[in-house]
Amino acid sequence: MKAIVIGGGIIGLSSAHYLQQSGWEVTVIEKNNFEDNASYGNAGYLCPSHFIPLASPGIVQQGFTLMWNPRSAFYVEPRLSWSLISWGLKFMKVATKEHLEKSAVPLRDIALFSQHCYEELGKIPGFEMAYEHKGLLEYYQTEAREEHSHHFADEAKKLGLEAEMLTLEQVQAMEPQAKLNIRGALYFKCDAHLYPQKLMQSMKSLLQQNNVTMIGGEELIGFEMQNSKVQKVKTNSNVYDANLVVMATGAWGRETAKMIGHDLLLMPGRGYSITLQDSPFKLNYPAVLQEGRVAITPMDGNKIRFGGTMEITSTTKPPRMNRVIGILEAVQQFLPEFKIPLPPQKDVWYGYRPCSADGLPYIGKVKENVIVATGHAMIGLSLGAGTGKLVSEIANGEKPSVDLKPYNPSRFS
Ligand SMILES: Cc1cc2nc3c(=O)[nH]c(=O)nc-3n(C[C@H](O)[C@H](O)[C@H](O)COP(=O)(O)OP(=O)(O)OC[C@H]3O[C@@H](n4cnc5c(N)ncnc54)[C@H](O)[C@@H]3O)c2cc1C
């Protein structure tokens, strides 16, 4: 039985792996070259602590305030686009306390499941990803964020996640080499991190070893259907027979879902990162700068990555270096000795998060033999391996390891 997976990000490659393991003959089709997409330059967090969806109370007001500042961490590019308007209206509608409460358990469950899947992958000989399970520190500078962190920690503990409030002195003892300008931090011991480039390389090698066909430089352009079943997958240069199709096209998920008549509310959320190797700027633990909305990850022994911003924009707009300046300014506010020079644009990575309208991924069937797996927004790496396993369970008609109802891709139809 032939499965065609569209998209060579972490969701596509994980899906390909678990499908192959369960007996499918798998081909992965990628429009680029399997060398870059959102799954490479991200912050590398595997984070059950991120149980609050992007669509949450307060985000809409914050968005309106921040979007006028060209260096701010959040921006919605205003334009007359039906994709943006329909997504934005739904996003504003669901960004409620009820939605947040309803989403916490599903997001925790899928993240813990996925973390377990990564740990299993890590046992495969030669599968390297620089995985470290040492937690995540969420630094705060203001009284308001301290209060918020207390509340957040209580909610996490109710969910059974290990969370602890730390004083400045406690955090400083964990990071003796860096001067911290913070009030304290919320420490999530449940979180892990890895080096995304190593993970993606290991996934590709594993698939190749297992005879998965990987085709780069071909773009999905449509399908040949019979009733509600895909028979053939059409790319710009070939046609493939398929018994099963997995659409793991990340931030392009809306366009590709449209090809089979499914309206997926999804927008690209661009973010930037800078990675330094053997630099004088060192941390022991991954850190989120709460007020600055920046993620810092020491990774793979000698690297440190600074990432952030959420620009709801189109995938064709040129990058905005002002956002990168904003990231570096925020870093210096929290870590005054981290005077990182602005790199040239060619050394700045950027990628597109696939943002669903409610902050929960879309995982499930949209046609008899078509599974959609996208919309993971800020937690796609974290949920990557688990999503791949869930895709194979759906394909094989098995009982899913986590409840899939919250992720139904037709929930807004
Ligand atoms: C700055 C930043 C930091 C982040 N930090 C974290 C983090 O710490 N932890 C975390 O969990 N997540 C993080 N994320 C989010 C995470 O990176 C994404 O959610 C995840 O990588 C999405 O994976 P994906 O496979 O869905 O998409 P992608 O990795 O973008 O892959 C989709 C692929 O589909 C291909 N494609 C699209 N259309 C077609 C077509 N028509 N034909 C063929 N191929 C097609 C694309 O070329 C692309 O290669 C971060 C994101 C950013 C930007």
pLDDT digits (tens, 9 = 90+) for 247-267: 999 999 999 999 999 999 999
Residue 74 pLDDT: 78
Q: Does the C-beta of 256 come closer than 6 Å to ligand 1?
A: yes
Ligand 1 proximity of 391 Cβ (cutoff 6 Å): no
* Cα 148 to averaged position of ligand 1 atoms, centre (Å): 29
Between the alpha carbon of residue 306 and those of residues 44, 69, 289, the distances in Å are 11, 20, 10
Beta bridge partners of 269: 312, 353
Q: Which of 116-149 are b and which e, b meaning 16 or more Cβ less than 10 Å from the residue's Cβ?
A: ebbeebbeeeebebbbbeebbbbbbbeeebbebb
Question: Is residue 53's pLDDT more than 70?
Answer: yes
pLDDT in tens, 35-48: 999 999 999 999 99
Q: Which of 59-73, 272-286, 357-371 has the lowest mean pLDDT?
A: 59-73
Residue whose C-alpha is closest to residue 41's, from 183, 196, 165: 196
At 338-361, the pLDDT tens digits run 999 999 999 999 999 999 999 999
Buried b (16+ CB within 10 A) or exposed e, 201-239: bbbbebbeeeebebbeebbbeebebeeeebebbbbeeee
> What CA–CA distance (Å, rounded) separates 404 from 407?
5
Distance between Cα 340 and ligand 1 center (Å): 26
**Average model confidence (pLDDT) for the chain?**
95
Q: Check pocket membership of 307 for ligand 1, CB cut-off 6 A.
A: yes
Give the contacts of 207 (CB within 8 A, at least 6 positions apart): 13, 16, 17, 20, 26, 28, 214
Q: State residue 64's pLDDT score.
A: 63
For residue 295, pLDDT over 70 is answered with yes
Distance in Å, CA 379 to ligand 1 centroid: 10
- Closest by CA position to 52, among listed 131, 146, 136, 153: 153
Distance (Å, whole) CA 269 – CA 350: 10
The predicted-structure confidence for 181-211, as pLDDT tens digits, reads as follows 999 999 999 999 999 999 999 999 999 999 9
Look at residue 62 in the predicted model and tell me its pLDDT: 72
Q: Is 32 in the pocket of ligand 1 (CB under 6 A)?
A: yes
CA 388 to chain centre: 14
Give the number of other CB atoms < 10 A from CB of residue 32. 13
CB 365 within 8 A of CB 371: yes
Question: Which residue's alpha carbon is at the smallest distance from atom 20 of ligand 1?
Answer: 380
pTM score: 0.97
Testing ligand 1's pocket by substitution, the residue of 28, 30, 34, 42 carrying the most ligand atoms inside 8 A of its CB is 42
In the chain, what's the furthest Cα-to-Cα distance? Answer: 65
What pLDDT does 67 receive? 65
Integer Cα distance of 63 and 285 in angstroms: 29
Q: Ligand 1 in contact with 38 (CB < 6 A)?
A: yes
250 lines ligand 1 (CB under 6 A): yes
Alpha-carbon Rg for the chain in angstroms: 21
Work out the average pLDDT over 50-60.
Answer: 83
Cα 95–264–23 angle (5° rounding)? 115
**271 CB less than 6 Å from ligand 1?**
yes
The helix/strand/coil state of 274 is strand
For residues 311 and 77, is the Cβ–Cβ distance under 8 A? yes
Strands 244-247 and 2-6: parallel
Can you list the domains of the chain with their CATH numbers?
Answer: 2-407 (3.50.50.60)
Sorted by sequence, the CB contacts under 8 Å of residue 377 that are 6+ apart come out as: 53, 54, 269, 353, 354, 355, 356, 359, 361
Q: Which atom of ligand 1 is nearest to the CA of 377?
A: 19
Say whether 21 sits in a helix, a strand or coil: helix
Instruction: Provide the pLDDT for residue 38.
Output: 98
CA of 10 to the centre of ligand 1 (A): 7
Q: List the single range of 36-40, 95-99, 305-309, 403-407 with lowest mean pLDDT.
A: 95-99
Q: What is the pLDDT of residues 203-213, one digit of tens each?
A: 999 999 999 99
Report pLDDT digits (tens) over 383-395: 999 999 999 999 9
The pLDDT value given to residue 113: 98
Residue 40, Cα to own-chain centre: how many angstroms? 10
Per-residue pLDDT tens digits for 103-157: 999 999 999 999 999 999 999 999 999 999 999 999 999 999 999 999 999 999 9
